[in-house]
Structure 1
């Protein structure tokens, strides 16, 4: 049986990702490695730090040593650390937003990046630029931050208020973009409301897990 190590920085999306892996790759064993302090530190510093990169690399090396066939990073803000870790292990490491970035670039040249945490804007934009380079396309990226929405979700546990803050943000972003991407997996809760938005809005969790299946099983 193939083994996947799911690297998570928050319990907010824990059940969502484990359910998706069970539905999409039931043939695989999934182990969770959760470090919520990574996300707290990212948010305090409004971006990644050398110590965070070091910890991410250590986790990935440990996951390979534990027999993982694939590592899946749930947090888009960890991208710089994951890029470093990819040079240290001999198994695939997939970022949650890799597949979303590829599809967004294929869908349009004006791409909006919406986030509830400032630390995710830079790495998601980097993923889009990397995907654009691979596809030989020129893109324009605009970023949008629903400041405070993440605290509403994680501290107040008010998912409805969180979702409405994001939808209000997307209604501004739709005026300036061909397609919008959601920079965090935790934002997937707004999917039932996306009919209010006039341009395509892409989320990362399901796309990411489908890509993991393709990498792991080739189908």
Structure 2
């Protein structure tokens, strides 16, 4: 069983659909806590480390063989807690970051939430260092997008993200920093690859749940 830590309930049907399409038979257990993100935005991600660990321990107690954190703001905190959890703990955006590094040295990160920019950029730089490739990471906040997301205007949110991707120049690849931004891939006209985290992240989580022994930051295909 793979447990997923979400900070919004909108992710539950997205990952269920991905499971049904690509990983039939994989049992998912969803843990949703929007308050974790709210507190992390106010006080910094480290402020919720204890609460994240509590979720991880609950997931393990319920039978999880691995945990996938779908919140990019909290991904680093979740990975850091893996040693105390006793099972692999993965961040959903790590496989996407590896894909971005492979696509080219000029990476543009789009985010709807400012607290996601720095962790995502740091993750891409970490992946570049891991494979010994040069990388230049730029970040851009999609103005007003998060307000639309919070208001339930999913269509407007996705449209704003797609328009921001369309306007990108001077990049080899565009990274959509948050899992909720993934649908914008379907409508963007960007001329470079646009990467989203849910599908590759779930694939890594599924592999970790099967193997049950991968550590933090370790790739499921290694």
Q: If the length of structure 1 is used for normalisation, what is the TM-score?
A: 0.90
Q: Which residue matches 1:24?
A: 22
Q: How many residues align?
A: 212
36-45 or 135-144: bigger deviation: 36-45
Residue correspondence of structure 1 range 74-113 to structure 2 within 5 A: 74-113=70-109
Q: Which residue matches 2:217?
A: none
Structure 2 residues without counterparts, runs of 5 or longer: 212-220
8 Å Cα contact 2:76/2:91 also seen in 1: no
Compute the displacement of 1:167 (Å). Answer: 2.3
1:61 aligned onto 2:57: yes
1:203 to 185, 196, 205: 196
Compute the displacement of 1:9 (Å). Answer: 0.5
Mapped partners of 1:135, 1:165: distance in 2: 33
Q: Which residue matches 2:215?
A: none
- RMSD, aligned α-carbons: 1.7
Q: Secondary structure at the match of 1:11?
A: coil
Q: Which residue matches 2:173?
A: 179
1:159 to 140, 154, 160: 154
Mapped partners of 1:147, 1:215: distance in 2: 36
8 Å Cα contact 1:12/1:154 also seen in 2: no
8 Å Cα contact 1:53/1:80 also seen in 2: no
Q: If the length of structure 2 is used for normalisation, what is the TM-score?
A: 0.89
Compute the displacement of 1:14 (Å). Answer: 1.9
1:150 aligned onto 2:143: no
Q: Which residue matches 1:170?
A: 165
